[in-house]
């Protein structure tokens, strides 16, 4: 099978549904974290960012930021780890990275029922421009 699908990416099937993860961009060979999260849905959570539905503030914020960063040619990647204490690990990672990096975790969310989608996109783009791409 290897010779027919050598261009496929390969991941190990998860044993545990609980994970902690870091979304980051690669800029000049440096890994710059942009968001830290946790989930009980393992890698299924990442699809929410691909969809980036406006009705889910965090999904929209992270997904839109990723799409925007990619328009500049940066590679956006995810590191994740299965864990039995995902919320504690998430807090530890956030505490470790804050102060050195600006994270989307610190960009306030919105109430989709009263927010304007274009305005929210612009807020995300501005945050990415000022806080992430200039770092």
Domain residue spans of the chain:
19-106+114-132
Tokens of 50: 């691909």
Tokens of 64: 């839109």
The Cα–Cα gap between 19 and 32 comes to 20
Whether residue 48 has pLDDT greater than 80: yes
Predicted confidence at residue 62, as pLDDT, reads 98
Mean local confidence (pLDDT), 73-93: 97
Contact 65, 127 (CB under 8 A): yes
Residue 76 has φ and ψ, to the nearest 5°, of -105, 130
- Kindly indicate the confidence band of residue 6, based on its pLDDT and cuts at 50, 70 and 90: confident
- Kindly indicate the confidence band of residue 135, based on its pLDDT and cuts at 50, 70 and 90: low
Predicted confidence at residue 120, as pLDDT, reads 98
Predicted confidence at residue 4, as pLDDT, reads 85
Contact 38, 19 (CB under 8 A): yes
Mean local confidence (pLDDT), 24-48: 96
Q: What percent of the chain has pLDDT over 90?
A: 90
The Cα–Cα gap between 130 and 9 comes to 33
């Amino acid at each position: 099978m290897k010779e027919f699908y050598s261009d496929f990416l390969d991941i190990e099937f998860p044993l545990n549904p609980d994970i902690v993860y870091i979304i980051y961009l690669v800029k000049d060979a440096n890994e710059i974290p942009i968001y830290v999260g946790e989930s009980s849905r393992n890698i299924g959570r990442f699809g929410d960012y691909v969809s980036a539905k406006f009705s889910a503030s965090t999904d929209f914020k992270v997904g839109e930021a990723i799409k925007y960063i990619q328009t500049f040619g940066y590679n956006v990647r995810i590191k994740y780890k299965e864990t039995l204490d995902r919320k504690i690990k998430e807090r530890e990672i956030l505490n470790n990275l804050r102060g050195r990096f600006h994270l989307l975790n610190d960009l306030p969310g919105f109430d989709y029922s009263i927010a304007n989608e274009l305005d929210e996109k612009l807020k995300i783009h501005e945050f990415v421009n000022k806080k992430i791409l200039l770092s």
